[in-house]
Structure 1
Amino acid sequence: MFFRNRFGKVAGTALLTGALVFAGAAGTTMASDRSDQVSKEKAASDKAAKLRSSLEGVSADLANSVIALENAKDAQKSAQGAYDEAVRVQAGAAREQAQAQDQLEVATAQLKQVEKALAASQERESENLSNIGKVARETYTNPSLGGTFEFFISDKNSGDLSTYARNAQLAAQMQSDSLKSVQNQIVGQKNSQAEQRELTSQVRKLKEQADAALQAADGAKADKETKLEELNQTLEEKKKQEAELDAKKGEISKQLAEAEKDQQAARERIMQIDAQNRSSQAASSSSSASSGSASSGNAGSSSAGYMAGGIFQAPIKGPLHLTSPFGYRIHPVTGQRRLHMGADIAAGCGLPQYAAANGTVVSTRYEGTGGNTVTINHGMLGGSSWISVYRHMTQFATSPGAQVSKGQLIGYTGATGRVTGCHVHFELWKNGTVINPIPLP
């Protein structure tokens, strides 16, 4: 009874409850793991896109060298993290397996104690039964005890008979009570034995599961260790890549300087267009009529477009995913801080691009770092001079001097110029100064 109360109810319940909690937690963990994996993949994709964008302005071979080095670093870091996690999981599995082993040993030992106590009680039961029979026989036949048979052939009186009967009844009752006590004890011990056998069986199953988990964890750890060793062997290759990039910093800096010149030339062209817009406005007899005419490039409140609520619409249809926003960014090799004059939007090669508002196409030409570029003058809108620029196109769908409407096709997404892949590069200039085009004005 001691074991059933102390271990069978407490430890047994704890073990089974633990198994159920583990099963529930496993489902939750799997869902959490899937969510974490999705988040990690998105973070990796965003990081890669940001890296590619930061490398604009240098040739493809130099950009690919930087990307290869960063990929090698990320792979090693990921492998190290995976190995560290495998070590943690293996250590946890080893602890659980050791606990399961301890619990199985305790349960087995307790089962042996219960079975030993049951065997002792059964032996006492057999002994009591034998004693009861022995008392009955001796009471009836043994002359020294005044047995019933001897009483009838003797000259004992009725008083002696009464005393004998009481003594015989008392002796038999004592033996019977002792037998019932032992039999009740046996019933309880058999129940304890059944409970303990069931508990021991369940503990053994948990132990088998823990053994399998440990074996799997050992295998995963060994696999991650092998992969980590393989990646660590590429350290020399990584050092070689770093040395090559270090030697190419001069060339990279030179190309970035050329890209800066391209940007400056773009600024000067935009400033010229802006000056023309202001001059036209000043020469106009009515700025309101001028800003509302088609020739001025006014977007107008009734202009067609798939994005409402603003002067401009996005250059592509559908949801916008920025791979590199407008603003300053640090070059991963030189550490130079450079202004990214537009917003880079994820888009596949050949995806159509559209005019952000009504206007006049100023130029469609190759502009060095910017590749195939479309520049549209939208004239004076709301008292400000506006110009939009679309870079890296693979093909033009308009020409200089063309009057375009908001949402009209002007070209197709590409990767011309010094970029690492197809995407939309969209710029907005207000009063001769480049601004953040997202959100749209």
Structure 2
Amino acid sequence: MSRRPRALSRMLALVLVGALAALTTVGGPAIADTLSDKRAAAKKLERENAAKREQLAASLEGLSAELSQALLDLQAMEARMPQAQFELAEAEASLERSQREATLVAARLQDAQDQETSIGTTIEQDTARATQIRESIGQMAREAYKGRGAASSMGVVLGAESTEDFIEQYGLVSTALRTQTSTLEEMRTLQAQNVNSQARLEAVRGRIQELKAEADQKVVEADAARAQAEDRKNEIEQLIVEQAAKKAQIEDQKAAAEAEAAAADAEAAKITAELAAIAEAQRAADAAAAAAAGKPQTPAGPVSGSLFANPTSIKPMYVTSNYGMRLHPTLGYVRLHAGIDLRTYCGNPIYAGRAGTVQWARYRYGFGNQVMLDHGLVNGSSLMSSYNHMTSFVVGAGQRVEQGTLLGYSGNTGTSAACHLHLEVYVNGATQDPGPLLGL
């Protein structure tokens, strides 16, 4: 946690959480043309934002809990905005689809009602014609009964007074018979047509009921889509207001953030000095022991190899933030992240990564509850490791621990934004990337 260069302090008045904006800006493909593409893009963005939130939380070490939470809240709002915009587009598309379908259903319903009217008119006309025919047939039957009906063919032959009279009478009889046959045939046709029309009428009436129910459902769907769209519009408007307020809050807290970062850097420098003094004493003691034995002292060499075991209960280990320089999310300058962050959840056990002696177990500004382990000299160099932000510890200064000994429980103490293990390794008092020493 080295001090930032003083020359970068002029940037404070110009930076408005530039790093946070970079974390939450949507890269990737342009806005998709179809809802299915937009849905896939929204899912992808959701996954990316989850990872970015974890990265942001890791980068917030050195800030107060209040400012860290403000930055996380802002990130959540900015991450939510594209999803809310997608949901608005989806709701508007659903509303348009429901309205379009409602129009089609209404047209089909009108067509069915027109068919009902037409079939009903046909049935009325055919019924009236059938009634008329039945009356005619009844009249003919009554006339025949009274003897005034049409004569039979035999009657015409027997009653004819001359050839001319026979021809005339026979023609009249034939015409009457054809008229009766045609009338009866028309009657049968009308009856068949009426049966068919009634069946069609029942079918159309059933379809009308179905279409009315479908039309009612489309109204319900359209109302729901309209309400959803309205909710998303209101949410987006609220997000815009809240983002502006949160950015103003973060801007107001920059001075405090700068002071906190300076205090954390000062504490890191103090720890480095303490460990350097311990390392020097260890080297001096080793030199004295070597001299007493008449042997040359082992020169201080590099420390390498997989010397540490997984200090968390998460298997396999999961690194959320690596060792190295990274951009400060509020102040806009690059500073050293002097360890690695390992995923572990609040209250999970933290174990010694290597055997050693507890140098101290106490609260350190910025680091929170810290356990510092002294692993002695390795290849002539002093090796130590610290376990930070713990909720509590169960070991004390001077206690000997073995690899895998319970040191305490993970937490979010100090200037930390989320429960995790910040692990640092020191060689001769200076930090070194713990990753390779963990076999990563």
Question: Is the shorter-chain TM-score for this pair beyond 0.5, marking a shared fold?
Answer: yes
What code does the residue aligned with 1:192 have? R
Query: Using a 3 Å threshold, how does the CA distance of structure 1 residues 276 and 95 change in structure 2: closer, same or farther?
Result: farther
Partners of 1:38 and 1:214 in 2: CA distance: 25
What code does the residue aligned with 2:194 have? I
Equivalences for residues 11-410 of structure 1 within 5 A:
48-70=53-75, 83-134=88-139, 151=156, 154-156=159-161, 167-228=175-236, 234=241, 239=244, 241-260=246-265, 269=275, 312-317=308-313, 324-327=320-323, 329-340=326-337, 341-349=339-347, 351-378=348-375, 387-410=384-407
What code does the residue aligned with 2:372 have? T
1:426 to 413, 423, 426: 423
Query: Using a 3 Å threshold, how does the CA distance of structure 1 residues 126 and 276 change in structure 2: closer, same or farther?
Result: farther
Q: Which moved more, 1:336-345 or 1:159-168?
A: 159-168
Give percent identity, aligned residues only. Answer: 24
1:343–1:437 Cα contact (<8 Å) kept: no
TM-score (norm 1): 0.66
Partners of 1:97 and 1:220 in 2: CA distance: 18
3-state DSSP class of the match of 1:346?
Answer: coil
- 1:286-343 deviations in whole A, cap 9, x for unaligned? xxxxxxxxxxxxx9xxxxxxxxxx8644323355785833245433222333443212
Partners of 1:88 and 1:329 in 2: CA distance: 42
1:323–1:346 Cα contact (<8 Å) kept: no
How far residue 113 of structure 1 moved from its aligned partner, in angstroms, is 1.7
What code does the residue aligned with 1:197 have? R
1:374–1:390 Cα contact (<8 Å) kept: yes
How far residue 74 of structure 1 moved from its aligned partner, in angstroms, is 5.6
Task: State yes or no: 1:435 paired with 2:440.
Answer: no
TM-score (norm 2): 0.66
How far residue 186 of structure 1 moved from its aligned partner, in angstroms, is 2.1
2:310–2:317 Cα contact (<8 Å) kept: no
1:270–1:387 Cα contact (<8 Å) kept: no
How far residue 116 of structure 1 moved from its aligned partner, in angstroms, is 1.9
1:354–1:410 Cα contact (<8 Å) kept: yes
Partners of 1:212 and 1:89 in 2: CA distance: 12
How many aligned residue pairs are there?
381
How far residue 216 of structure 1 moved from its aligned partner, in angstroms, is 3.0
Which residue of the partner structure matches residue 26 of structure 1?
Answer: none
How far residue 195 of structure 1 moved from its aligned partner, in angstroms, is 1.2
2:282–2:377 Cα contact (<8 Å) kept: no
2:62–2:415 Cα contact (<8 Å) kept: yes
Query: Using a 3 Å threshold, how does the CA distance of structure 1 residues 227 and 243 change in structure 2: closer, same or farther?
Result: closer
Higher relative contact order (CA 8 A, sep 6+): 2
3-state DSSP class of the match of 1:66?
Answer: helix
3-state DSSP class of the match of 2:343?
Answer: strand
How far residue 359 of structure 1 moved from its aligned partner, in angstroms, is 3.2
In structure 1, stretches of 5+ residues that fail to align are 1-32, 286-298, 300-309
2:364–2:370 Cα contact (<8 Å) kept: yes
